[in-house]
Structure 1
Amino acid sequence: MSRKIKLIWDFRGEAAAKTAEHHAIHLNEYLENEKRTLEKTGFEILNEMHAIAFVVVEEKDMILFRDALKPHRGEVYN
């Protein structure tokens, strides 16, 4: 079984939640244009000043997505 990697974009400040939500829309548009389906995409509000947008990819595809989408960070997804 292949590991999955969560690629993450961090947004901070009063508009973090709205910005993360909007960024997730663009991530889904990219996936649609590239005709790719992934296990999970979305956004999470961590607190009132910090939110993230994310995609979960197979470890073997991580470099491709990292280079194309320029996430801020990544972590192993459970």
Structure 2
Amino acid sequence: MARQIKLIWDFRGPASAKTAEHHEIHLKEFIAIEQLPISITGFEVTNEMHAIAFIVVNDEQMIPMRDALKPHRGELFMP
């Protein structure tokens, strides 16, 4: 199985949870428009002042997705 990378967008402040949740909607829209074989997206609330939205891509998809979507950071995805 190919290595998977979690591309992450960080949101901070009191509205971070709602912003991350909304950003995931845009990630799903991008996947649908581009007809990409990506099924893992999400958002997580770290605390009341920090939340993330993310998308999980295969290693070979990472560079084109990084360049197109401009995530803040990435990490190896361990299901």
User: Which residue of structure 2 lines up, in the alignment, with residue 18 of structure 1?
Assistant: 18
Distance in 2 separating the partners of 1:29 and 1:53: 14
- How far the C-alpha of 1:38 sits from its partner, in A, is 1.2
What residue ranges of structure 2 are gaps of 5+ in the alignment?
A: none
Q: Which runs of 4+ in 1 moved over 3 A?
A: none
Identity of matched residues, %:
64
User: Which residue of structure 2 lines up, in the alignment, with residue 40 of structure 1?
Assistant: 40
**What TM-score, normalized to structure 1?**
0.97
Distance in 2 separating the partners of 1:38 and 1:54: 12
Deviation digits for residues 13-60 of structure 1 (CA, Å, limit 9, x no counterpart): 000000000000000000000011313101111111100000000011
Query: How many residue pairs were aligned?
Result: 78
Q: Cα RMSD (Å) of the superposition?
A: 0.7
What residue ranges of structure 1 are gaps of 5+ in the alignment?
A: none
